[in-house]
Amino acid sequence: MPKDLVLVAEDEADIRQLLVDTLADAGFEVIQASDGGAALEMATRERPDVVLLDVMMPVMNGFKMLAELKADPSIAGIPVIMVTAKGQDKDAQKALLSGACAVVIKPWSRQQVETEITRALAARRLAA
Amino acid sequence: MERDLTAMSILVVDDFQGARLMLESVLKSAGHSDVLCAGSGEEAFTILGLENPTGNSGRVNSILMDVGMPGVDGFEACRRIKAAPWLKDIPILMVTGLEDPASLEAAFAAGAVDYITKPLNQVELLARVRSALDLKREMDQRKLIHVTDLEAKNQELQLAYGQLEAQNRELERASLAKTQILSTATHELKTPLTSIVGYVDRMLFQQGTVGALNEKQQKYMETVQKNAHRLKTLVDDLLDVSRIEAGTLELKLVDMEVQQEVEEVVQSMQNQVQAKQSQIVLSFPPDLGAIQGDRLRFSQVITNLLSNAIKYSSPCATVTVTARETGNGITVEVADTGMGISLADQAKLFTKFFRVDNSTTRQESGTGLGLYLTRHLVEAHGGSIRVESETGKGTTVSFTWPKTHASGAQAAPSAGREPAAQR
């Protein structure tokens, strides 16, 4: 069975590397982008199975990237997990209302990220 | 000091024309050129502007009032004029033919300053009128000084008020700026903290892929992990403080069972409980109703109270949690048998950055924000919190949480996924 492909979009290099390593260890194939624009391009080209998307990024922030992704029918079906530093503030709600399937709040734990990704992938398989 | 009293106007009120003319001529011949006449009390009221304060009421400086008149008599007219705040300073001289003590008494009781008896003695009349006018001028001057004084004071006050308002706006701006800095700084802290917690986590728990740690490395990494978690708690608390102070704390209201929520918190605190071999005893009546509120926040309140109770008790001590219905709410009590809190400290217990300070507790970790937040979280739900304690015997913190939220906000169904949040 081929590995599931996860796109990690995060501008902080340390945190991006941490996510990439963690997810690779957990058995995923991982690709990465350091801003929203690059993430959107990669999503269109590589069709990942799930996107882990940071809110605060240069060029195109997470919300903008999410809106663009959901507006493109060819990639709209890819589940997006939003990563936000803003706790339970409006961001979490906004993300869910904008089409994210889940929200993970910084500082997240490895288990949380893995759980949300597994859950998103399972939901996607059920829907397919 | 020579004062020209003759320029001041005098009103003569008498129903008898002969008497009016006589008084008028005597006054005019003495130089009082401005004499007004009224044939009745009612006519006097019109001239004075009794019904209409904006009339020519300022013109009359003294009144000669006949006592016996048909309709409104002199006493009644006097009373009515004295009852009008803008007329009451006009001195009234009663003109009476009845020289009996009772009528004099009635004249003074009605507010007259003086009286003249008929038949008139010209010298006496003019002397008394002159002294009445003197009195009026004196009062006018005093009033003028008083008014000028008041105006100056008023201006001073308005200036001071304006300054205070400006200062207040400045303080509000500063306070908001402080809250914004706190909020921004806290968010900025979260990013490096995520890295630290994440990499430490990999070192400790993914040794299979990262590589094994030796005993010393393991111990050091555990220390880093423990302190990173403390820092995380502090950052979370600071973020909550900034939310409370900026008024942006959001509550996600659901219906919840107190016992179930408390049991979950106790479950999550097993590490702390076991480390100190504490006992947590729950005592809830079986028919306890549900409450409404933000589950995460309710758990935070219980966690803070239990954590304090364990922290400030000796090892192996028992902490008791009870709940009962009180009016429209449910009161939860967390009681320990620990060192207790002095009365002076109790008063400061729920304030920001307050820590019970003595040699045994200083070693306890904490930010001094826990109870400040606890109080604000309870109050944000419309509840109240209080402490009872005796040094050496123990502390009981109890809070009352309303069954329904006062704002009338609709409770969301408690099922459904919540955005992950940690403490």
- State which amino acid sits at residue B68: G
Pick from A18, A88, A103: CB nearest B199: A18
Contacts of B400 (CB under 8 A, 6+ apart): B326, B329, B330, B331, B332, B383, B384, B385
Alpha-carbon distance B292 to B323, whole Å? 15
Query: What pLDDT is stored for residue A53 in this prediction?
Result: 96
Which tens digit of pLDDT belongs to each residue from B356-401? 665 444 445 566 788 899 999 999 999 999 999 988 889 999 999 9
B422 and A105 in contact by Cβ < 8 A? yes
> One-letter amino acid identity for B420?
A
Q: How far is B190 from chain A (nearest CA, A)?
A: 6
Q: Which of B286, B193, B186 is nearest to B242 (CA)?
A: B186
CB within 8 Å: B187 and A96 = no
What's the CATH number where A122 sits? 3.40.50.2300
Whether residue B286 is preceded by a cis peptide bond, meaning omega within 30 degrees of 0, is no
B198 inside 8 A of chain A by CB: yes
Tens digits of pLDDT across chain B (423 residues): 445 777 789 999 999 888 889 899 999 998 888 899 999 999 999 888 887 766 555 678 899 999 888 889 999 999 999 998 888 889 999 988 766 777 788 888 888 988 888 888 888 889 999 988 888 888 888 888 888 888 889 999 999 999 999 999 998 888 888 877 877 787 788 888 888 988 998 999 888 888 999 999 999 999 999 888 888 888 888 888 888 887 878 888 899 999 999 999 999 888 888 888 888 999 999 888 889 999 989 999 999 999 989 988 888 889 999 999 888 899 999 999 988 888 888 888 888 777 666 544 444 556 678 889 999 999 999 999 999 998 888 999 999 999 887 654 444 433 333 333 333
Other Cβ atoms less than 10 A from the Cβ of A90: the count is 12
Neighbours of B357 (CB within 10 A): 9
pLDDT per residue as tens, chain A (128 positions): 789 999 999 998 999 999 999 999 899 999 999 999 999 999 999 999 999 999 988 889 999 999 999 999 999 999 999 998 765 567 888 888 899 999 998 778 888 999 999 999 998 888 76
Distance between CA atoms of B297 and B421, rounded to whole angstroms? 11
Interface of A with B in 42-81 (CB under 8 A): none
Test B239 with A87 for CB contact under 8 angstroms.
yes
- In B, residues 272-311, which contact A (CB 8 Å cutoff)? 296
DSSP B3: -
Cβ-Cβ contacts under 8 Å, A25 against chain B? 202, 206, 209
Q: List chain A residues with CB under 8 Å of B197.
A: 107, 109
Structural domains in chain A (count): 1
* Residue range B217-234, pLDDT digits in tens: 999 999 999 888 888 888
Nearest CA in chain B to A16: B195
Secondary structure (3-state) at B4:
coil
Answer for the pair B34, B8: CB distance below 8 angstroms, yes or no.
yes
A90 vs chain B: nearest CA distance in angstroms?
Answer: 9
B:206-225 residues touching chain A, CB 8 A cutoff: 206, 209
Q: Do A108 and B232 touch (CB under 8 A)?
A: no
Q: Distance (Å) from the C-alpha of residue B352 to the closest C-alpha of chain A?
A: 21
Side by side, the strands of the sheet bearing B92-96 are B35-38, B9-13, B60-66, B92-96, B114-117
CA of A109: which chain B residue's CA is closest? B198
Give the integer Cα–Cα distance in Å for B215 and B391.
43
**Helix or strand (DSSP H, E) at B281:** strand B279-283
Distances (CA, A) of A30 to A25, A46, A103, A106, B349: 10, 11, 19, 20, 50
Provide the residue range defining the domain that includes A114.
5-127
The DSSP output letter for B252 is -
Q: Are A50 and A121 in contact (CB under 8 A)?
A: yes
The ipTM (two decimal places) reads 0.73
Query: Which H helix or E strand runs over A54?
Result: strand A50-54
Taken in order B14, B15, B17, B18, the sign of the CA dihedral is: negative
